Amino acid sequence: MKKKPLSFDKDLFKRSVLYNVKTLYRKTMEEATPQEIYQAAAYAIKDAIVDHWMTTQKAAAEQDPKIVYYMSMEFLMGRAFGNNLINLQAYKPVKEALDELGLDVNLVEDQEPDPALGNGGLGRLAACFLDSLATLGYMAYGCGIRYKYGMFRQQIKDGYQVEVPDTWLENGNPFELRRSELAKEVKFGGYVNMFTDEYGRTIFRQEGYQVVRAVPYDLPVIGYGNGVVDTLRIWDAEPIQCFQLDSFDKGDYQKAVEQENLASQLCEVLYPNDNHIAGKELRLKQQYFFISASVQTAVQRYLRNHDDIRKLYEKTVFQLNDTHPTVAVAELMRILMDDYYLSWDDAWDVTTKTCCYTNHTIMSEALEKWPVDLFQRLLPRIYQIVDEINRRFVDQIMRTYSGSAGIDVQAKIRSMAILYDNQVKMAHLAIVGGHSVNGVAKLHTEILKQRELKDFYEMMPEKFNNKTNGITQRRFLMHANPLLADWVTEKIGDDWITDLSQMDKLKDFVNDKKAQAEFMDIKLKNKQRLAEYILEHNGVKVDPKSIFDVQVKRLHEYKRQLLNILTVMYKYHDIKSHPNKDFYPKTYIFGAKAAAGYLTAKLTIKLINSVAEVINNDPDIKGKIKVVFIEDYRVSNAELIFAAADVSEQISTASKEASGTGNMKMMLNGAVTIGTMDGANVEIVNEVGEENAFIFGLSSQEVMEYEKNGNYNPMDIYNSDPNVKKALDMLVDGTFSKDKELFRPLYNCLLNKVGGNRADQYFILKDFESYLEAQKKISDAYADKKRWAKMALMNTACCGKFSSDRTIQEYVDEVWHLDKLNVEAK
Ligand code: GLS
């Protein structure tokens, strides 16, 4: 039976907008600024949300379900306003109400800053997971940091990326609740005093430390149409007021100031590195800060209605999103032993049953390792515990392998120890201290098992499992592409909103001429919408009838934006030398932020912009190619871009992209993938069929062979392939820059060893020709309207597997074992 939609009182909403404008700003609607109207409307919606939030908390108190704490340094939530309305099933009434007040819902939405507490895929995945958890009716907390400045805003000046602080909290955040009554203390530094108490127990007490107050801010995460509201709890740091200068620390002015500084720095800014560690002391402080506060909260919440702490894991699970939160293992041990006096063995039993770890990358530069001296100085008690975990684990390795023929026990210890080479290896701590280790796509999990984490897999195979990533169709279809969402509903009903496997039913329409025409017409409208955005932001006029070929994601060498732009450069040359050759017009759309200190990535951005400048202004090209770099790529403009994409560029060097999720968002919106057999592309191709994607390049096996054998020589390709030579030479012959040396570093790293890296580490030259060929096939396929419409439709029809609802249900069934909340939706 179909569920009744949630009720929403449109008139009440209207009245509260007027009331809020008055009480918040002492203004009438006519006087209020757009930002003030947004705030007033957001508070009015919050009112409705809070009712559901309270009902959910009450149901949880009564039903006592197991709770998952999704611990993550990053939550890339994107704007909340529109998404909240969708999940409350109130988008239409609110749109009407605003219309009646003379306001446009889109303009109101545009007033909201785009909360960017994350870098890219990893943080956005966390946000999709929360949406799915609430929609599926599970009790969940996202635990993270309330960075004052999120991911920097990117400006392009003279073609270069310039980073500008993201002041997202400037006008406050109407959706958040400050929960000072739930504040926790987090301690850093000092030393550990060990003594025996009056009951004969060994007590470890941290002394001489600095302390900050962790204050939580709660944000509602609304389930779709079910009245469930979960919580994203992000922590801010505050100094402990009046503590330093009174009796306890009298006169220690220096320390008081230090504590004050620590508190003000801790949550200042998100480190803008994706797939790369910053290795900074402050980063480790951030990690321990939010983990300590979150673990303390989880334990306390459990003890509110249970008294046997040994059974914590029956009601609590911690999912550690990459290595960043893995200090949770030691923090939970500390709390269990030092605060609740559990023995080591009991504490270990609880900890390993509570913690689970997701690995999101095989890039070695992203695997976190902390210098022992730093770790020990900052977290003295935690270090003692890690040291003991390591001692016992090394013992276990010896017991497991000593005497086994052909096994080098020392080599096993070298590769698996948590403390080695003066480093604390966070991934190893997470694997040893939990019961589940998962990769994020089939191929990625296999690579972990067979290569990166092979020794661990051999020793504890039962811990390893795969959870292929997914995305939420509520944001990335319903909100991003309302035209297509309505069309899908018209064709197959609306069950797809909470069950994406229903999209399969669209297969009935892939050969239907009328459906094809409607589908492509929607695509065209979305391309027009994006073309307007591009005209407004880039001043470039693009043709919505051209092929929109899109590569939007973080800028990283392994993602190979350089391969893409090199082929654009080559085609530019080709068109200029063969002006009469047939060429299907193409618009190349890029969007990417580079980590602030990543010079090669930043130079690639400059190259893309320089190429755009030359090509877009060359009359000989007659508009056959346009190149656009969209400034400040973020969730809000991503939604416009995905809806408008014809071609989805997923061209990472095979084996390097753990999963990718942009690939899924574009597939959902009917874009066809050009890609390597990497990450989740493998599974996408498996669903949609090879004939509905364009696959090229080395396989992951081949890449790994070359890496192992060191027998790849890009110079041979450069010397023997005139197309490759032409493209590379254009980097340094002045075509795209008066200063011929400007792009020399890119040229050099393709042909020579640079700074300890192999020449062309990411096999750009090797894959160049097969990539060109795949692009040629795309142009041919696109020229055949019917064929393309069918391919595009097939992509939307086959995306069912890639909902984060499916991923979350797998975590629940195989790892977390949560119970569904029973909330009566009103
Ligand atoms: C990442 C991977 O690079 C992506 O392939 C993956 O889709 C994402 C979510 O699992 O995690 N790892 C990372 O450090 N940043 C990512 O986006």
If DSSP states are collapsed to H, E and C, what string results for 536-557? HHHCCCCCCCCEEEEEECCCCH
Strand-pair partners of 234: 144, 217
**pLDDT tens-digit map of 518-534:** 999 999 999 999 999 99
Q: Are 332 and 356 in contact (CB under 8 A)?
A: no
What would the two tokens of residue 561 be? 């934006």
The alpha carbon of residue 482 and the mean position of all alpha carbons in its chain are separated, in whole angstroms, by 23
Active-site positions read: 360, 553-554, 559, 661, 665
Predicted confidence at residue 256, as pLDDT, reads 80
**pLDDT tens-digit map of 659-671:** 999 999 999 999 9
User: Distance, CA 660 to ligand 1 centroid (Å)?
Assistant: 6
d(CA 383, CA 191) in angstroms, rounded, equals 11
Q: Nearest Cα to 491, choosing from 469, 457, 458, 516?
A: 516
**pLDDT tens-digit map of 137-152:** 999 999 999 999 999 9
Handedness of CA 558, 559, 560, 562 (dihedral sign): negative
d(CA 251, CA 65) in angstroms, rounded, equals 49
User: Distance, CA 360 to ligand 1 centroid (Å)?
Assistant: 5
Predicted confidence at residue 247, as pLDDT, reads 46
Q: Are 67 and 819 in contact (CB under 8 A)?
A: no
Residue 410 has pLDDT above 70, yes or no: yes
User: Distance, CA 469 to ligand 1 centroid (Å)?
Assistant: 10
Give the percent of the chain with pLDDT over 90. 95
What would the two tokens of residue 397 be? 């390795």
* Residue ranges of the chain assigned to CATH 3.40.50.2000: 64-79+114-367+433-469+809-816, 474-699+762-800
Phi-psi domain of 467 (left: phi exceeds 0; alpha: psi -120 through 50; beta: other): beta
Predicted confidence at residue 425, as pLDDT, reads 98
User: Distance, CA 539 to ligand 1 centroid (Å)?
Assistant: 32
Predicted confidence at residue 1, as pLDDT, reads 67
With residue 207 as reference, give the H or E element that holds it: strand 202-207
Q: Which of 360, 555, 656 to mutate to test the pocket of ligand 1 (most atoms within 8 A of CB)?
A: 360
Return the ligand 1 atom nearest residue 121 CA.
Answer: 17
Which residues are CB-neighbours of 173 under 8 A, at least 6 positions away?
Answer: 115, 217, 219
Predicted confidence at residue 37, as pLDDT, reads 98
The alpha carbon of residue 583 and the mean position of all alpha carbons in its chain are separated, in whole angstroms, by 37
Predicted confidence at residue 355, as pLDDT, reads 99
- Residue type at 15 in one-letter notation: R
Q: C-alpha angle 117/120/124, rounded to 5°?
A: 70
Which residues are CB-neighbours of 323 under 8 A, at least 6 positions away?
Answer: 357, 359, 367, 368, 426, 427, 430
User: Distance, CA 559 to ligand 1 centroid (Å)?
Assistant: 11
Count of C-beta atoms within a 10 Å radius of residue 710: 8
What are the start-end ranges of the E strands in 250-368?
316-321, 355-358
**pLDDT tens-digit map of 527-564:** 999 999 999 999 999 999 999 999 999 999 999 999 99
Q: Nearest Cα to 111, choosing from 177, 30, 173?
A: 173
Q: What is the mean pLDDT of residues 442-456?
A: 98
d(CA 826, CA 823) in angstroms, rounded, equals 9
**pLDDT tens-digit map of 248-272:** 555 677 778 888 899 999 999 999 9
**pLDDT tens-digit map of 760-783:** 999 999 999 999 999 999 999 999
User: Distance, CA 653 to ligand 1 centroid (Å)?
Assistant: 14
User: Domain 474-699+762-800's class?
Assistant: alpha beta
- Residue type at 114 in one-letter notation: D
- Ligand 1 binding pocket (C-beta < 6 A) is 120-122, 125, 274-275, 360-361, 366, 440, 469, 657-661, 679
**pLDDT tens-digit map of 590-635:** 999 999 999 999 999 999 999 999 999 999 999 999 999 999 999 9
The DSSP bridge pattern shows strands 210-222 and 184-188 to be antiparallel
Q: What is the mean pLDDT of residues 353-380?
A: 96
Please state, rounded to an integer, the average pLDDT across all residues of the chain.
97
Indicate the pLDDT class of residue 344, thresholds 50, 70 and 90: very high
Q: Helices 744-751 and 722-729 meet at what angle, rounded to 10?
A: 150
Q: Are 761 and 712 in contact (CB under 8 A)?
A: no
Residue closest by Cα to atom 7 of ligand 1: 660
Give the percent of the chain with pLDDT over 70. 99
What would the two tokens of residue 324 be? 């960043």
Return the ligand 1 atom nearest residue 440 CA.
Answer: 10
Q: Which of 277, 283, 361, 655 to mutate to test the pocket of ligand 1 (most atoms within 8 A of CB)?
A: 361
Predicted confidence at residue 279, as pLDDT, reads 85
DSSP assignment letter at 16: H
Residue closest by Cα to atom 14 of ligand 1: 275
Q: Nearest Cα to 114, choosing from 679, 636, 813, 771?
A: 636
Q: Are 240 and 185 in contact (CB under 8 A)?
A: yes
Return the ligand 1 atom nearest residue 660 CA.
Answer: 7
Return the ligand 1 atom nearest residue 661 CA.
Answer: 7
* Least confident range of 104-118, 254-268, 695-709: 254-268
Q: What is the mean pLDDT of residues 280-303?
A: 98
Residue 7 has pLDDT above 70, yes or no: yes
With residue 50 as reference, give the H or E element that holds it: helix 34-63
Q: Nearest Cα to 516, choosing from 544, 487, 541?
A: 487
Predicted confidence at residue 249, as pLDDT, reads 54
d(CA 263, CA 240) in angstroms, rounded, equals 9
Q: Are 698 and 653 in contact (CB under 8 A)?
A: yes
**pLDDT tens-digit map of 167-192:** 999 999 999 999 999 999 999 999 99
Q: Does 3.30.70.260 match the CATH number of domain 64-79+114-367+433-469+809-816?
A: no
The DSSP bridge pattern shows strands 316-321 and 67-71 to be parallel
Predicted confidence at residue 2, as pLDDT, reads 73
Judged on CB neighbours under 10 Å (0-12, 13-18, 19+), 512 is middle
Q: What is the mean pLDDT of residues 285-302?
A: 98
d(CA 276, CA 268) in angstroms, rounded, equals 20
Q: Which of 74, 75, 122, 560 to mutate to test the pocket of ligand 1 (most atoms within 8 A of CB)?
A: 122
